[in-house]
Structure 1
Amino acid sequence: MTHEKPEPPERPDPGATTQTVETDAGTARVTWHRAPRARAVLAVSHGAGGGIEARDLRALAAVLPAHGLTVALVEQPWRVAGKKVAPAPKTLDVGWRGLWPALAAEGLPVISGGRSAGARVACRTAAELGAAAVLALSFPLHPPGKPERSRAPELLGAGVPTLVVQGAKDPFGRPEEFPEGTYDLVEVPYGDHGFAVPKRAGITQEAALELITDRVVQWAGSLV
């Protein structure tokens, strides 16, 4: 199980709308940031220790709608219920499957995404749900210090076009540790598991987030 440091509360987006969805794992919640002329939906969920206030998810929701991508920030049932510990991967998959009809109801291609544990969910379920692609943010390739416990088969088995965005200093898997595959990989210089960069790094926090959003826009635009 992966954990993240909590982010500070985000300021509500006045244009966002919230939808609750009943799943076999409990009540989930989707916060929609709709594009004026959407070509696709990017649905992204949080990790095992944080919520949709994560800096990368906030940045995607703020930037992508202007580029024709509706962003759906998904809160898994355990998070909506106020629990502090995520359930087993199988239960996370159940929640994601239950959410999918609501995500696909827009009638647009859906890119399945998530950060950390949410990225694993997206990879495991993409093919069966008919996802157009997978966006894996901070994919937890292995537990910190335990490279022998690789989760590479989940990533390699996604079965659809996949973009991995990984911090150069991510203890759950640095970019150079990832095996060869058909996916694309973007490295965020100096970034940790939450894409935080040190104040004295050769890149600012704002530039790191801009790198992420720019590459996701470019990649998604090549797909839809």
Structure 2
Amino acid sequence: METSERKFLATPEKGEVSALLVRPRDASHVLVLGHGASTNMRHANLQTIAERMADVGIATFRYNFPYMEHGKGRDSQAVCTQTVRSAVAAASEAAPGLPILAGGHSFGGRMTSMAASESPLDGVIGLVFFAFPLHQPGKPDTQRAEHLGAVRVPMLFLSGTRDELAAMNLLGPVCEKLGSLATLHPLDTADHGFKTLKRSRKSEEDVFVEMGRVAREWASGLG
């Protein structure tokens, strides 16, 4: 398995950001993976996601948004969506020939979907959302999902049944409205950070292993 640190130009104004490529020898796809709003590409959750994806033959290209790279205030949405596009292009160069998936945990996934709704991400055949942040905690709403109707590639939602940022009774109908392009996989007893209730969880499968398995099965069915 190849693990390499890289740099790429996020935007001309914000400069370069860091990235990590984890590529198993038998890689079938490369997943461009954005981090959560208050974390970075080295966060334990993103690291574990990358490891479990590698176990099922999916390479990952994790990256920092400029504000996290440089320790400054949150970037504008325009900067974040341009960074997503730049990351996709950098991943294509880093892992040539592999079909590209894009997404991320929480904020990283939402910025990816925003970018894809504005115009298609070059070479991306599907989006993977790890805990899509549908609304603020305690403020159930679906406004953050309105742009998803403009996305033109298949989307996989991996969302915990205890996620306080994505009430399942709202996320389910959102995915139904998106029709065949959306696949929702509920993660039993998982919260927004994928912590589970072991005593009441129906499955003995580790939640990160579950996400890897489901992502591989879903990706293998894409054209």
Alpha-carbon distance, 1:137 to partner: 1.0
Give me the TM-score of the superposition, normalised by structure 2: 0.84
CA contact (8 A) 1:112 1:134 kept: yes
**1:80 equivalent in structure 2:** 69
- 2:6 maps to 19
Instruction: Provide closer, same or farther for how the CA distance between residues 66 and 198 of structure 1 changes in structure 2, counting only shifts above 3 A.
Output: closer
Equivalent residue in structure 2 for 1:94, among 82, 87, 90: 82
Pick the structure with more helix per residue.
2
Superposed CA deviations along residues 122-181 of structure 1, whole A, max 9, x for unmatched, are 112234223111001111111122224621113333210100011111111122212222
Which residue does the alignment assign to 1:214?
A: 213
1:118 aligns with 2:108: yes
Deviation for aligned residue 1:28: 1.5
Query: C-alpha separation between the residues in 2 aligned to 1:206 and 1:88?
Result: 38
Q: C-alpha separation between the residues in 2 aligned to 1:205 and 1:192?
A: 16
Q: What is the aligned residue count?
A: 210
Q: Is the 8 A contact 2:32 2:88 kept in 1?
A: no
Does structure 2 conserve the Cα–Cα contact (< 8 Å) formed by 1:166 and 1:174?
A: no
Map 1:52-201 → 2, pairs under 5 A: 52-83=41-72, 85-105=73-93, 106-126=96-116, 127-130=119-122, 131-148=124-141, 150-178=143-171, 179=174, 180=176, 181-182=178-179, 183-198=182-197, 200-201=199-200
Structure 1 residue 15: Cα displacement: 4.2
| In 2, Cα distance between equivalents of 1:61 and 1:33 | 7
Q: TM-score, normalised by structure 1?
A: 0.83
Judging changes above 3 Å, is the alpha-carbon distance between structure 1 residues 86 and 204 closer, same or farther for their aligned structure 2 residues?
farther
Q: Distance in 2 between matches of 1:205 and 1:86?
A: 38
Contact residue 107 and residue 133 of structure 2 kept, 8 A:
yes
Residue in structure 2 matched with residue 7 of structure 1 by the alignment: none
Identity rate, percent? 26
**CA–CA distance in 2 between the matches of 1:136 and 1:120?**
8
Structure 2: distance between partners of 1:60 and 1:204: 19
2: CA distance, partners of 1:69 / 1:222: 14
| Greater shift in the superposed pair: 122-131 or 177-186 | 122-131
Identify the match of residue 21 of structure 2 among 32, 36, 42.
32
Distance in 2, matches of 1:118 and 1:162, equals: 14
Question: Is contact 2:106–2:131 with CA below 8 Å preserved after alignment?
Answer: yes
SS at the partner of 1:128?
coil
How far 1:115 moved relative to its partner? 1.1
* Structure 2 spans left out of the alignment, 5+ residues: none
Residues 10-47 of structure 1 show CA distances to partners (whole Å, capped at 9, x for unaligned) of xxxx9410001122133221101112133321111101
